[in-house]
Amino acid sequence: MTTIPADANRIEAAARALLDEKVAAVRVLAAARQAREDQRAALAEAERNDTAAYTAALRAGWTADELKRVALDAASKRAPGRPRSSAPRTGGRSTAATHTTALADTAPKTPLEDSHSG
């Protein structure tokens, strides 16, 4: 069996100490991330429970206005997915193109166009 020189043992120990510090930092980060995910799940459940309780209060005869007067506003609901644009859609044609086409349709025909439409 080969013996490792004392210098190499000291270098290896120093390297392991550095790696141990890095591993410890990653361990703390992983625990923090897990705690964050646990809290997100708990918040989602609390929001569902809040919405259900608010709906139950409405079904029990309370009005939204009455609940608001006693500092119990409607449960906040977030729409799933990405937000929708409030701009009306034009069916793929730009507004300028639609406007130009509309003007062309109402423009008086020239005598040459009129003679070919027959």
C-alpha atoms less than 13 angstroms from C-alpha of 6 in its C-beta half-sphere: 0
Dihedral angle sign, alpha carbons of residues 19, 20, 23, 28: negative
Q: Which of 78, 25, 21 is nearest to 50 (CA)?
A: 78
According to the model, what pLDDT value does residue 75 have?
74
Task: Write the pLDDT tens digit of every residue in 4-38.
Answer: 677 999 999 999 999 999 999 999 999 999 999 99
Q: Where are the domains of the chain?
A: 1-76
Do residues 75 and 50 lie in contact, with contact meaning Cβ atoms separated by under 8 Å? Answer: yes
Task: Write the pLDDT tens digit of every residue in 56-105.
Answer: 999 999 999 999 999 999 877 655 556 666 666 665 555 555 555 555 55
Do residues 59 and 52 lie in contact, with contact meaning Cβ atoms separated by under 8 Å? Answer: no
